[in-house]
Amino acid sequence: MQILQITDPHLYGDAGGRLRGVETDSSLSAVLDDAFSRVPGYSAVLVTGDLVQDDASGYLRFRSIFCNLRKPVLCIPGNHDEPEAMRRELQGAPFQICGTHETDGWQFIMLDSYDPGHVGGRLRPEELARLDDTLARSPKHAMVCLHHHPVVMGSRWLDTVGLADTEAFWRIIDAHPHVRAVVWGHVHQVYDGRRGNVRLFATPSTGAQFLPFSERYAVDSRPPGYRRFDLHADGRIDTAVHWIESLPMRHSAAG
Ligand SMILES: [Fe+2]
């Protein structure tokens, strides 16, 4: 079973809107063209936050881009989202906001780490309880998805705006050995790590990237990208990040 992860498209209501030198709408479209042609048999699209750039009318663009898909579009909010508007504008198929999605022996638990007024994220007690309950109820292989990074990325500025109180999160993950992966957005770069038997993944934005291991905010020159997951019935995961090299990035220090 194949899943596409796209993340941090940062759309505006205006299709010509640009962020960090990238026209976010056309960049997302180029990513999707590549993803859908390279992985035509995908079962769902996972979108790990920052669907819009502080602009609720961006959800109308998001909706128009995805509404004709005949596959689930699984969405979670990021710090640049407006969760109420997101739920209002993305109602009904193919969209699902947070919750759990099950398919082919796997479950995707989508957590809301949005913390109003903060760039960093936080999982409310009820969200942590939902994670624990869902994992306790179903023994299916689990992919846990959220926007904010629950590990240190090694980038000083970015590590001040990750997930708060990670201990409680990891306590739950560690208690359920059928968690196969934790997947996030927010960091606009690749991460491929491991915690015991749990695979850990971050994925480049469909727009501009952040420079890995940078002390201060810095935009990378890598092009837009996305990730594919090949999820096996025995819980194994194969994955690859695909970069859209045909979209060269323009450097821009400010966003
Ligand atoms: Fe982002």
Per-residue pLDDT of the chain (255 residues; tens, 9 = 90+): 999 999 999 999 998 899 998 899 999 999 999 999 999 999 999 999 999 999 999 999 999 999 999 999 999 999 999 999 999 999 999 999 999 999 999 999 999 999 999 999 999 999 999 999 999 999 999 999 999 999 999 999 999 999 999 999 999 999 999 999 999 999 999 999 999 999 999 999 999 999 999 999 999 999 999 999 999 999 999 999 999 988 766 544 443
Q: Helix crossing, 58-66 with 24-38: angle to 10°?
A: 20
State the distance from the centre of ligand 1 to the C-alpha of 105, rounded, in angstroms: 30
Predicted confidence at residue 253, as pLDDT, reads 41
Distance 131 CA to ligand 1 centre (A): 23
CA of 139 to the centre of ligand 1 (A): 32
Q: How far is the CA of 60 from the centre of ligand 1 (A)?
A: 18
Beta bridge partners of 215: none
Closest C-alpha to 15, from 54, 64, 48: 64
Residue 21: its pLDDT value, please? 86
Backbone dihedral angles phi then psi of residue 164, each to the nearest 5 degrees: -80, 160
Give the Å distance between the CA of 148 and the centre of ligand 1: 9
> Ligand 1 center to residue 255 CA distance, Å?
11
Among 123, 110, 198, which Cα is nearest to 168's? 123
Q: Which two tokens stand for residue 74?
A: 């699984």
**136 CA to middle of ligand 1, Å?**
31
Please tell me the distance between residue 188's alpha carbon and the centre of ligand 1 in angstroms.
Answer: 6
d(CA 70, ligand 1 centre) in Å: 26
Cα 219 from Cα 208, distance rounded (Å): 7
Distance of CA 190 to the CA centre of its chain: 12
Written as one letter, the residue type at 240 is: A
Q: State residue 172 phi and psi, 5-degree precision.
A: -70, -45
Distance 138 CA to ligand 1 centre (A): 31
Verdict on whether the full-model pTM lies above 0.85: yes
CA dihedral 109, 114, 115, 121 (to 10 degrees): 70
What is the per-residue pLDDT for 249? 64
Enter the DSSP assignment of 70.
Answer: S
| Cα 234 to middle of ligand 1, angstroms | 32
